């Protein structure tokens, strides 16, 4: 099996930003409107009033301070509370493909590649804009890439699961150079009207170039020492939106058609699962957690990441060992660990080890162990 490297990464973030204060003001205005509409039911004890959110609540619960979004005005409109996205004709580049291409171009530049050098494109994200044709095929066409392309979805683990597919394709010889893109327009499937989760997500796209070490020319290369994936069924993170909804005659705006989670159960169950997964993966490679110079973890919750690292290495956890990008980007689903890697790897030296790890709905956990060349 030929050695495989990550030779380039790219990041695209939409320019519009929502701060916690702006989000709280919009949510509280919505809550007041909704409480006024149901005043009679609330007075009769037949409904519970919506409770205000606060900046303090959000930051204590998550560590998030702001998020990038594709449309700010629609999210902050108390009468709408979701982004406003204009439909595009089929002849125009779709929104997710636009995000992906914007992230792919700097990744290709970092790797010293052009579109024609790519012979596989994997579009991996927690939701896809459409069923078909595949977004990956559209991205492949726009970049002038060859070979094959396909979409895949493993929720917040989509990026690491796709990296394993890319690594295996290069190892087996079915591809020489693979582009993985993770366009996460999470604002479109977040329930902004739910106090428990209205602050969680932000929009972004990442891109990763995976290729054979023998063809890599980039000045920065990360040899992939191993990948490992695991899944365990759980109902505690769920989204019931899908093509069968119209046949079920269900309300397309019903609460279950957007992101839902039982946060406390997820925290309790995923932390030990992710820590054990990383430790087991390292041991299989003959490594120990303390040998790892940096962990780039899924960016869902500050407390969750800190506890996972404490389980692995003990003691206090700092940004140098496990960088956090939640404050700036919020939870960006599968793109989070890749953003952390993209923004916090340049200071590492030859021989330094790192772990990219994501975890999310499914449950799913994916890890990629890398070494700076």
Helix (H) or strand (E) holding 356: strand 353-360
Mean of pLDDT values over 233-249? 96
* Cα–Cα distance, 166 to 292 (Å, whole number): 23
Mean of pLDDT values over 152-167? 98
- pLDDT band at 136; cut points 50, 70, 90: very high
Closest CA to 106 of 240, 225, 183, 8: 8
pLDDT digits (tens, 9 = 90+) for 259-294: 999 999 999 999 999 999 999 999 999 999 999 999
* Cα–Cα distance, 355 to 369 (Å, whole number): 5
* Apex 282 CA angle, 343 and 354, nearest 5: 15
The catalytically annotated residue of 137, 156, 177, 197 is 156
* Whether residue 56 has pLDDT greater than 90: yes
Residue 183: what pLDDT?
98
Q: Give the chain's mean pLDDT.
A: 97
- pLDDT band at 211; cut points 50, 70, 90: very high
* Whether residue 315 has pLDDT greater than 80: no
Record the pTM: 0.96
357 annotated active-site: no
pLDDT digits (tens, 9 = 90+) for 326-339: 999 999 999 999 99
Looking at per-residue confidence, does 314 or 342 come out higher? 342
* Whether residue 78 has pLDDT greater than 80: yes
Residue 316: what pLDDT?
73
- Give yes or no for a contact between 314 and 254, defined as CB atoms under 8 angstroms apart: no
pLDDT digits (tens, 9 = 90+) for 118-132: 999 999 999 999 999
Residue 332: what pLDDT?
98
Residue 298: what pLDDT?
97
Residue 2: what pLDDT?
87
* Whether residue 317 has pLDDT greater than 90: no
- pLDDT band at 342; cut points 50, 70, 90: very high
pLDDT digits (tens, 9 = 90+) for 358-367: 999 999 999 9
* Cα–Cα distance, 57 to 80 (Å, whole number): 23
Residue 1: what pLDDT?
74
- DSSP label at 86? -
Residue 75: what pLDDT?
98
Closest CA to 124 of 355, 282, 300, 332: 332
Please report, rounded to a whole number, the percentage of residues in the chain having pLDDT higher than 90.
98
**In the structure encoding, which two tokens stand for residue 234, read together?**
């759980």
Residue 88: what pLDDT?
98
Residue 164: what pLDDT?
98
How far, rounded to the nearest angstrom, does the alpha carbon of residue 97 sit from its chain's CA centroid? 16
């Amino acid at each position: 099996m030929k050695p495989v490297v990550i030779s380039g990464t790219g990041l695209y973030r939409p320019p519009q930003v929502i701060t916690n204060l702006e989000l709280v003001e919009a949510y509280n205005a919505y809550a007041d409107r909704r409480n006024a509409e149901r005043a009679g039911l609330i007075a009769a004890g037949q409904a519970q009033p919506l409770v205000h959110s606060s900046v303090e609540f959000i930051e204590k619960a998550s560590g998030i301070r702001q998020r990038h979004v594709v449309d700010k005005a629609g999210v902050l409109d108390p009468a709408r509370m979701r982004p406003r996205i204009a439909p595009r004709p089929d002849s125009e580049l779709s929104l997710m493909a636009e995000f992906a291409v914007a992230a792919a171009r700097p990744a290709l530049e970092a790797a010293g590649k052009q579109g024609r050098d790519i012979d596989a494109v994997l579009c991996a994200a927690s939701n896809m804009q459409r069923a078909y044709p595949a977004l990956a095929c559209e991205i492949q066409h726009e970049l002038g890439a060859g070979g094959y392309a396909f979409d895949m979805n493993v929720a917040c683990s989509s990026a690491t699961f796709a990296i394993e597919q890319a690594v295996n394709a290069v190892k087996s010889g079915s591809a020489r150079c693979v582009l993985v893109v993770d366009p996460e327009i999470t604002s479109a499937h977040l329930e902004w009207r739910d106090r428990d989760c209205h602050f969680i997500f932000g929009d972004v796209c990442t891109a990763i170039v995976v290729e054979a070490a023998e063809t890599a020319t980039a000045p920065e290369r990360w040899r992939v020492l191993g990948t490992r994936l695991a899944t365990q069924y759980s109902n505690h993170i769920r989204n019931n939106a899908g093509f069968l909804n119209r046949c079920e005659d269900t309300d397309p705006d019903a609460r279950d058609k957007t992101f839902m989670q039982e946060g406390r159960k997820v925290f309790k169950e995923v932390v030990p699962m992710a820590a054990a997964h990383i430790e087991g993966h390292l041991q299989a490679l003959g490594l120990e957690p303390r040998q790892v110079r940096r962990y780039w973890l899924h960016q869902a919750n500050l407390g969750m990441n800190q506890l996972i690292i404490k389980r692995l290495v003990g003691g206090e956890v700092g940004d140098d060992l496990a960088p956090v990008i939640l404050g700036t980007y919020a939870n960006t689903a599968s793109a989070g660990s890749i953003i952390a890697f993209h923004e916090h790897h340049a200071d590492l030296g030859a021989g330094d080890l790192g772990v990219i790890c994501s975890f999310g709905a499914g449950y799913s956990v994916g890890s990629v162990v890398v070494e700076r060349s």
